[in-house]
Amino acid sequence: MGKQQWCLRVNRQGAEMVRRTLLDEGTLDKSLKIRSDGDELLFPVIHECSGSVIAEFEELHQRVPLPRHELVGGIAILAEDDPVGAAAILAERPSVHTALIAESAVEGEFRTRRFRVLAGDKTTSTIHTEYGKTFRIDLEKAYFSARLASERQRIVGMMHQGEEVLDMFAGVGPFAVMLAEKAGTVWACDLNPDAVSLLIENITRNRVSNVIPILGDAANLSEVYGRRFDRVIMNLPLIAERFLPVASRLCRSGGMIHFYSLVEDDDEDSPVFHQIPIKSMQKRFVRSYSPGRSHVVYDIVVE
């Protein structure tokens, strides 16, 4: 009798890239054996995420249990203040150069966190790989979450070739650089100068020529650009609501806004949706955030 776990079903062709991404983001459940099913591989993951389903897996015999941590490139972010466990992670994982503990929640306008080094190099900067693209990340200078990797692929999968895309809160550019693969142009805006510097580095390191970085306040974008965008990305949970009227002025009729939000599981949808012309709207679960709280996305087709 095996163990029931969330998993991603992936066609064998793209499976190695998915395996590496899940390993990099620390999402692969390494206590369970990867399964095959016809043309597909089933990768067990440690939590429910976009596109995941439940399946049964054989349990693997584990060596020394490492403390709970999340990986961003060569940085392990521990859930507990555990310097001994941090040293064990560095010893066990040759690709990890630094182990950190967060000393604050995600805070301020730039949505950053403060960290303390528990072991390894004294840095918050690293190179992270996601679906074959590499990103310079500096966890203390600009927001980044590796846990949205599958969500970004879901958006790429929905896109048509040549779309005009606006990423209103682009950070270091993970959505912008990923979506550039299908887009005509991606306009990527952020208020944080350090995020935009890292975005420019990430555009260059991935040799992307169709992402335009913008340092500025997304609130002003509709005064500069018209209703030209086929798709608008709004990943600024908690306060994105106040930018929704601006987004609807920027998105063409029939275009789509992806509005990310953190909601209590029994929350009603926000009344702000009544303030913009909507043709249709679908709410999707992205990942669980904390007990009783989820990260969700509203895919909104604008009237």
* Footprint on this chain of ligand SAM (rule: CB under 6 A): 109-111, 142-145, 148, 169-171, 174-175, 189-192, 195, 217-219, 235-236
Comparing CB distances to ligand SAM, the nearer of 5 and 235 is: 235
**Please, which residue, 3 or 47, has the CB nearer to ligand SAM?**
47
In the structure encoding, which two tokens stand for residue 237, read together? Answer: 């949970």
In the complex, least distance from residue 37 CB atom to ligand SAM, rounded to whole angstroms: 32
Strands (E), the chain: 3-11, 35-37, 40-44, 53-57, 69-72, 75-78, 98-102, 115-120, 125-130, 133-138, 163-167, 183-190, 211-215, 229-234, 251-264, 278-290, 293-302
CB of 171 vs ligand SAM, minimal distance in Å: 3
d(CA 141, CA 98): 16
Toward ligand SAM, which CB reaches closer, 139 or 191? Answer: 191
CB-closest chain residue to ligand SAM: 171
Q: Pick between residue 91 and residue 219 the one whose CB is nearest to ligand SAM.
A: 219
138's CB contacts (< 8 A; 6+ apart) are: 124, 125, 172, 194, 198
Which C-beta is closer to ligand SAM: that of 152 or that of 182?
Answer: 152
- Compute the chain's Rg from CA coordinates: 20
Tell the smallest beta-carbon distance from residue 183 to ligand SAM (Å). Answer: 15
Name the residue nearer to ligand SAM (CB basis): 87 or 262: 262
C-beta of 259: minimal distance to ligand SAM in Å? 12
* Shortest distance (Å) from residue 242 CB to ligand SAM: 9
* Smallest distance from ligand SAM to CB 234, Å: 9
Question: Which CA distances in Å does 272 have to 226, 236, 239, 240, 266?
Answer: 22, 15, 11, 10, 17
Task: Assign residue 26 a region (left: φ > 0; alpha: ψ between -120 and 50; beta: otherwise).
Answer: left
Pairing of strands 98-102, 115-120: antiparallel
Pairing of strands 211-215, 229-234: unpaired
